[in-house]
Amino acid sequence: TQLLEQSPQFLSIQEGENLTVYCNSSSVFSSLQWYRQEPGEGPVLLVTVVTGGEVKKLKRLTFQFGDARKDSSLHITAAQPGDTGLYLCAGQISNFGNEKLTFGTGTRLTIIP
């Protein structure tokens, strides 16, 4: 059972377009992370957001944590073929201790040259 729902599940767009991926839950998380996973590899951390309403930018990627800390979004500007991959959001309930990650269902992004 996955508590984090991502949408869309699949997204295929042309190079240069903008896109937004959503991660929603009915649960409150102390932190929300975004990962990117390439075929045959494990997820790689892109960013962590911890404060409600927080916005972080990583080059052309903008991440936002919802005010209530139940949802998050990833916006990519001027998508490039190198952005192709599986994007996963993952939440942690606690701020401390050892915390397993609760992953979302994933968004498979394909950027067409």
Partner 1 sequence: GAGVSQSPRYKVAKRGQDVALRCDPISGHVSLFWYQQALGQGPEFLTYFQNEAQLDKSGLPSDRFFAERPEGSVSTLKIQRTQQEDSAVYLCASTLLGAGGWRETQYFGPGTRLLVL
Question: Per CB under 8 A, does 44 bind partner 1?
Answer: yes
What is the per-residue DSSP string for 48-59? EE-STT-EEEET
**What is the CA 17 to chain-centroid distance, rounded?**
18
Of 79, 92, 109, 111, the residue at the interface with partner 1 (CB under 8 A) is 92
CB neighbours (10 Å) of residue 6? Answer: 21
- Per CB under 8 A, the list member of 14, 59, 96, 113 interacting with partner 1 is 96
Establish if 43 lies at the interface with partner 1 (CB under 8 A). Answer: yes
Backbone φ, ψ for residue 82 (5° rounding) = -70, -10
Number of residues that bind partner 1 (CB under 8 A): 30
Beta bridge partners of 73: 22, 64
Does 112 help bind partner 1 (rule: CB under 8 A)? no
Among 14, 26, 95, 113, binds partner 1 (CB under 8 A): 95
What is the rounded CA–CA span in Å between residue 97 and residue 80? 38
Least distance (Å) between residue 61 CB and partner 1: 17
Interface residue list for partner 1 (CB under 8 A): 2, 4, 6, 30-31, 33, 40-45, 48, 50, 88, 90, 92, 94-106
